[in-house]
Amino acid sequence: MLTTLRRIVQEVNSAKDLSTALNIIVAQVRETMGTEVCSVYLFEPGSGRYVLMATKGLNQDAVGRVSLASNEGLVGHVGNREEPVNLEDAAAHPKYRYFAETGEERFASFLGVPILHHRRVMGVLVVQQKERRQFDESEESFLVTMSAQLAGVIAHAEATGSIRGLGWGGEAVQDTRFVAVPGAPGVAIGQAVVVLPPADLGSVPDKPVADLDAELALLQRALEAVRQDMQTLSRRLSSQLRPEELALFDVYQMMLDDSALGSEISAGIRSGQWAQGALRDVVNAHVNRFEMMDDPYLRERASDVKDLGRRILAYLQEAGKRELVFPENTILVSEELSPVMLGEVPKEKLVGLVSVLGSGSSHVAILARAMGIPTVMGAVDLPYTRVDGMELIVDGNHGEVYSNPSPELRRHYYDLVREERELIQGLEKLNEAPCVTLDGHRMPLWVNTGLLADVARSLDRGAEGVGLYRTEVPFMIQDRFPSEKEQQATYRGQLEAFHPLPVTMRSLDIGGDKALTYFPIKEDNPFLGWRGIRVTLDHPEIFLVQTRAMLKASEGLNNLRIMLPMISSVYEVEEALHLIHRAYSEVCDEGVKVHMPPVGVMIEVPAAVYQARELVQMVDFLSVGTNDLTQYLLAVDRNNPRVADLYHSLHPAVLQALVKIASACRIAGKPMSVCGEMAGDPAAAVLLMAMGCDVLSMNATNLPKVKWLLRQIRLSDAKALLDEVIELDNPYLVQSTLHLALRNMGLGKVLTQTR
Ligand code: PEP
Ligand code: MG
């Protein structure tokens, strides 16, 4: 049975369109089950009816013509119940409805199963037989399995249709939403420009080399041309990124080097393969190796190699560079956006980014955050090849893309874009103004940084410190561990730029979805594995070098704070403190004059919430990483678009945890900060302030909105709101109550739906 199923699924997946896929299914299922009829009815949301879309056994003329209301007939009955209906004598069932057009009066037995996708009934799959009999269990489970496979195919076809604004029956559909994950905050409306791979390595045939020298020369010219392109692109980005950050492009240059890909391809040519074939083999070998590593970061390396391979191929095929035309308000869409692609669009025209693959930790998302471009990652259901030239809405706050926006939705997002622009323009006034509530409560707003490019935007927007400097970012854009001296220089850059404001440097937080090419970590459950402090305590040499570099960098500035990620036990803090003190005395022995910096613990896992009282005794402050805390409390992968709707930082469990941490800090008389994305959500910030948070640290994009809102509210009102929502038992209710109250206070303009 399993083999048959696999065969059918394979055939269905390679069908060119939905109608072919449905015809394959009805024919194959009828044959495999030995029934007289197999039919598929699809639910058409516009009309609310089930339409007969394919059949083997009923009259073909009825296809597309016969339809049933959602509560009509046995088909409607299956859809309503959302479970199989197995009848020996269909006509005897009260829900039975006879259609003369189909000729189904001859069939007695009926087995119908719903086709469900993400809880939605998409249709019903039916088999019928003349003979009166009950279908047995194995037949029922076969049909259920078949329908589960069918659901994915239909959902894909539906997404493809709706991208063109068409539902099943040809009716117009609007506001089609594709759920993904946030890459960089902000919203944008614009015209999609799809960047397709410039050339297809997969279709390169084998061919013997005719003239060895000519082929080698051809390769050299292609490599040189790509090298030039890379330099041009890197130069274009150089006004927005610092030289150190452009090091990302060095990785590409190095791959192109004669001793790397270049020499391997030449060797392939020398062994008799033409340049294109040799390139294909070398790229495939590297891609397979990286992809097998099963690690998201290394898979990204695979995409870098693929990207380079396609660019070289384009030159080998003499296609050269494709000149894309970029409209004003370009939204760049690609299966796998690479940092290099950002450089291809003139800066003033690029308003948004959508990548089908990748997560919030991908390089391109890190760059987009530094450049302030709203970005959505992991839009796996978006039929991206079909959206070129279409109007899209990119919601980087929630990780959503919309196509065919209705006038209302368009207006809503235009308002958001305008408000964002106005807030930034009005910021010159707000920039200097402190974040103080109407009743005089001072709420310090800090920023999260990673690249040096983040600094200017942060200071422009009136940041009062850095609550989280993600030190893994400079590690990720290198191809080896940076030395103590290199780290010292990078950290000095951050500390100097913000001086005298405090800068909180987090010790290296790799693992999970953040890995280093030169330090691969392969695990089945990376988010529950070797992550954050667990890695650095197992490698004290990494921890010590980093801490020494931080301490030395702070000489004469003394605005450093150190923070420990992924703490789940007190002994991890003890060990880390021991290492920090050791690094401190080593640095002092070297004659460096620094103060011992404040040290804090990040609360990111449930265990740390329950031990917040003990943890806070050991350090100078606690900082809540709500991104991970939400992920671990709710057991929802923060990078998985399939469960994105379950990821909710306003979940009562998250709020209760935050209240508990705040209380531990208050009792200990130590400051609590929040540095997850939640702190940058204006409505959530109101609650965090009311809980007694001492610092909110967020991305620079959201800082003006949070400041604007907190300056228009009283702490006493915020506390009353917290008292009200903390009693609620459901995240949606929390959000709607909070938003309604803020709207009633006239503060609705900066609210976004939090997840
Ligand atoms: C967090 O988990 O909330 C956090 C700030 O850290 P990161 O997003 O880097 O994991
Ligand atoms: Mg974290």
Q: What is the pLDDT confidence band of residue 4, given thresholds at 50, 70 and 90?
A: confident
Atom of ligand 1 nearest to the CA of 448: 5
Rounded CA-CA distance 666/660 in Å is 10
Residue 596 located in a structural domain: no
Atom of ligand 1 nearest to the CA of 360: 8
Percent of the chain topping pLDDT 90: 52
To test the pocket of ligand 1, the residue of 362, 454, 468, 567 to mutate (highest count of ligand atoms within 8 Å of its CB) is 468
To test the pocket of ligand 1, the residue of 181, 627, 637, 673 to mutate (highest count of ligand atoms within 8 Å of its CB) is 627
Q: What are phi and psi of 55, to 5 degrees?
A: -150, 150
Please check whether residues 342 and 208 belong to one and the same domain. no
The binding-site residues of ligand 1, defined as CB within 6 angstroms of any ligand atom, are 468, 470, 509, 604, 625-628, 675-676
* DSSP string for 111-176: EEEEEEETTEEEEEEEEEESS-----HHHHHHHHHHHHHHHHHHHHHHHHHHHTTB-TTS-B---E
Rounded CA-CA distance 360/366 in Å is 7
Task: Decide: 736 and 650 in contact? Cβ < 8 Å.
Answer: no
Residues 6+ apart with CB under 8 A from 597: 550, 551, 554, 558, 560, 561, 562
**Which helix (H) or strand (E) is 506 found in, with range?**
strand 503-506
Nearest alpha carbon, ligand 1 atom 10 = 628
Residue 131 located in a structural domain: yes
Residue 140 to residues 56, 185, 315, 397, 514: CA-CA distances in angstroms? 18, 47, 55, 44, 44
In tens, the pLDDT along 697-730 reads 998 888 988 999 999 999 999 999 999 999 999 9
Rounded CA-CA distance 54/40 in Å is 5
Residue 133 located in a structural domain: yes
To test the pocket of ligand 1, the residue of 675, 695, 696, 702 to mutate (highest count of ligand atoms within 8 Å of its CB) is 675
In this prediction, residues 174-198 reach a mean pLDDT of: 87
CATH number of 58's domain:
3.30.450.40
Q: What angle do CA 154, 158, 164 make, to 5 degrees?
A: 155
Task: Decide: 379 and 178 in contact? Cβ < 8 Å.
Answer: yes
Q: What are phi and psi of 242, to 5 degrees?
A: -80, 160
Atom of ligand 1 nearest to the CA of 470: 9
Q: Which ligand has its closest atom nearest to the C-alpha of 470?
A: 1
Residue 627 located in a structural domain: yes
Please check whether residues 11 and 131 belong to one and the same domain. yes
Please check whether residues 59 and 140 belong to one and the same domain. yes
Please check whether residues 55 and 191 belong to one and the same domain. no
Place of tokens 């006004």: 239
Asked if residue 243 has pLDDT above 80, the reply is: no
**Domains contained in the chain, number:** 4
Length of the chain: 755
121 C-alpha vs ligand 1 centroid, how far in Å?
37
Q: In what order do the strands lie in the sheet containing 37-44?
A: 67-69, 49-56, 37-44, 120-129, 109-117, 85-87
Asked if residue 320 has pLDDT above 50, the reply is: no
CATH number of 222's domain:
1.10.274.10
Nearest alpha carbon, ligand 1 atom 4 = 625
- The reported pLDDT for the residue numbered 753 is 52
Nearest alpha carbon, ligand 1 atom 1 = 625
629 C-alpha vs ligand 2 centroid, how far in Å?
8
Residue 76 located in a structural domain: yes
**Residue 500: how many other CB atoms lie within 10 Å:** 9
- The reported pLDDT for the residue numbered 198 is 60
Asked if residue 322 has pLDDT above 60, the reply is: no
Q: Which ligand has its closest atom nearest to the C-alpha of 628?
A: 1
Task: Decide: 447 and 700 in contact? Cβ < 8 Å.
Answer: yes
Q: What is the pLDDT confidence band of residue 77, given thresholds at 50, 70 and 90?
A: very high
Rounded CA-CA distance 331/251 in Å is 26
**Which helix (H) or strand (E) is 696 found in, with range?**
strand 695-698
In this prediction, residues 253-281 reach a mean pLDDT of: 84
Please check whether residues 186 and 330 belong to one and the same domain. yes
CATH number of 444's domain:
3.20.20.60
Rounded CA-CA distance 693/2 in Å is 56
> For the chain, how are helix, strand and coil distributed in percent, rounded to 5?
50, 15, 35
* DSSP string for 439-479: T--B--EEEEESSTHHHHHHHHTT---EEEEETHHHHHTSS
Three-state secondary structure readout of 17-64: CHHHHHHHHHHHHHHHHCCCEEEEEEEECCCCEEEEEEEECCCHHHCC
Please check whether residues 292 and 407 belong to one and the same domain. no
Final residue belonging to a domain, choices 260, 287, 316: 316
Please check whether residues 232 and 145 belong to one and the same domain. no
Kindly report the average pLDDT of the chain as a whole number: 88
Nearest alpha carbon, ligand 1 atom 3 = 625
Q: What is the pLDDT confidence band of residue 755, given thresholds at 50, 70 and 90?
A: very low
Q: Catalytic residues, which ones? A: 363, 675
Please check whether residues 217 and 335 belong to one and the same domain. no
Task: Decide: 613 and 668 in contact? Cβ < 8 Å.
Answer: yes
Q: What is the pLDDT confidence band of residue 427, given thresholds at 50, 70 and 90?
A: low
In tens, the pLDDT along 483-502 reads 999 999 999 999 999 999 99
Atom of ligand 1 nearest to the CA of 675: 5
Task: Decide: 659 and 691 in contact? Cβ < 8 Å.
Answer: yes
Rounded CA-CA distance 402/385 in Å is 15
In tens, the pLDDT along 629-639 reads 999 999 999 88
629 C-alpha vs ligand 1 centroid, how far in Å?
8
Through-space distance between the first and last CA atoms of the chain, rounded to whole angstroms: 42
Place of tokens 């964002």: 420
- The reported pLDDT for the residue numbered 689 is 98
Rounded CA-CA distance 542/701 in Å is 32
Asked if residue 361 has pLDDT above 50, the reply is: yes
- The reported pLDDT for the residue numbered 402 is 94
104 C-alpha vs ligand 2 centroid, how far in Å?
60
Please check whether residues 130 and 229 belong to one and the same domain. no
Residues 6+ apart with CB under 8 A from 510: 472, 475, 516, 519, 521, 531, 532, 535
Atom of ligand 1 nearest to the CA of 628: 2
DSSP state of 257: S
Asked if residue 126 has pLDDT above 50, the reply is: yes
CB crowding 651-675: b at 16 or more within 10 Å, else e = bbebbebbbbbbebbeebebbbbbb
Nearest alpha carbon, ligand 1 atom 8 = 627
Atom of ligand 1 nearest to the CA of 676: 3
Residue 515 in tokens: 């890995």
Q: In what order do the strands lie in the sheet containing 375-377?
A: 176-179, 400-403, 391-395, 187-195, 330-334, 350-355, 375-377, 181-184
Residue 672 located in a structural domain: yes
| pLDDT: which is higher, 375 or 360 | 375
Please check whether residues 334 and 190 belong to one and the same domain. yes
To test the pocket of ligand 1, the residue of 297, 472, 527, 604 to mutate (highest count of ligand atoms within 8 Å of its CB) is 604
Q: What are phi and psi of 557, to 5 degrees?
A: -110, -45
- The reported pLDDT for the residue numbered 489 is 96
555 C-alpha vs ligand 1 centroid, how far in Å?
28
565 C-alpha vs ligand 2 centroid, how far in Å?
7
Residue 147 located in a structural domain: yes
- The reported pLDDT for the residue numbered 234 is 80
Q: Which domain holds residue 750?
A: 435-462+609-755
| pLDDT: which is higher, 92 or 202 | 92
622 C-alpha vs ligand 1 centroid, how far in Å?
14
Q: Which ligand has its closest atom nearest to the C-alpha of 678?
A: 1
Please check whether residues 105 and 183 belong to one and the same domain. no
Residue 172 located in a structural domain: no
676 C-alpha vs ligand 2 centroid, how far in Å?
8
Helical H segments across 466-569, by residue range = 472-476, 484-498, 533-538, 540-553
- The reported pLDDT for the residue numbered 754 is 47
Please check whether residues 331 and 183 belong to one and the same domain. yes
In this prediction, residues 11-25 reach a mean pLDDT of: 81
